[in-house]
Amino acid sequence: MMLSETEIKELRIFEDFLNSIGFKRLEGTVFGLLVLSDTPLTSEEIAKTLNLSQSATSTSLKTLAHYGAIETREGRENRAKLHTAKDDSLSIVASIFRKRDQEKIIGLKKAAERLLKTKSNPDAPSYKRLKSIISTSEIAESVMNFIFGLAERDIPEQYPQIIKRLPKAFDLITKSVEPVDILTNSVKNFISSRSWPKSKEDLR
């Protein structure tokens, strides 16, 4: 695959972004190439285009596949494995949340809940900090659950219209409450109770 000079320069953006959320820079480069490619690529084509070893390419592809960022299938002619980036980026985010962040956030919340049971003074600074960790974790869980649900509906063509509604919805929540524990419940209730669109007709 031939990349233009502009595309080659922009691969650095994918490198930097994926590296900032815990991936290796090489994995970001491979993902960026697959995003920019209009056709599926074999590992050999990826290695040649990016001047990488076959081993480094294979390792990067395995990691990206594990987190749901790419899809792999066999070619019809020579049965070589063909790799492509997923079209729906939200499904990638949901997969990363499920396989990495969700477990860590739940673990942090459970640890804070266990420690909170050892505290007897609600006015103590440590008690308030633990309560804040629990509330923050619950907000994160609620947002992740919203993303999971939206990704499972598989309606990427409707995301622009949904995005237009979200700022007003969250602005209403944050302006209507003050304490963080009330804010947490408001976010959770809003996300769980909303009838999010399942079809184009629902958005009209």
Task: Let me know whether 159 and 181 are in one domain.
Answer: yes
Same domain, 141 and 108: yes
Instruction: Tell me how many domains the chain contains.
Output: 2
Instruction: Take residue 129 and report the two structure tokens written for it.
Output: 């900090």
Q: How far apart are CA 105 and CA 91, in angstroms?
A: 19
Asked whether residue 40 falls in the same domain as residue 137, the answer is: no
- pTM greater than 0.75: no
Query: In terms of domains, do 197 and 96 share one?
Result: yes
Residues 69 and 97 in one domain: no
Last residue of a domain, one of 85, 117, 147: 85
What confidence tier does 163 reach under pLDDT thresholds 50, 70, 90? confident
Query: CB–CB of 108/137 below 8 Å?
Result: yes
Same domain as 75, residue 60: yes
Calpha distance 31→50 (Å, rounded):
11
Strand-pairing partners, residue 83, are 41, 72
Q: Look up the domain containing 147 and give its range.
A: 89-203
**157 and 72 in one domain?**
no
Whether residue 94 is found in the same domain as residue 17? no
- At 24-66, the pLDDT tens digits run 999 999 999 999 998 999 999 999 999 999 999 999 999 999 9
Q: Are residues 51 and 99 in the same domain?
A: no
Domain identity same for 192 and 102: yes
Distance CA 42, CA 186 (A): 48
Residues 79 and 116 in one domain: no
Greater pLDDT, 52 or 170: 52
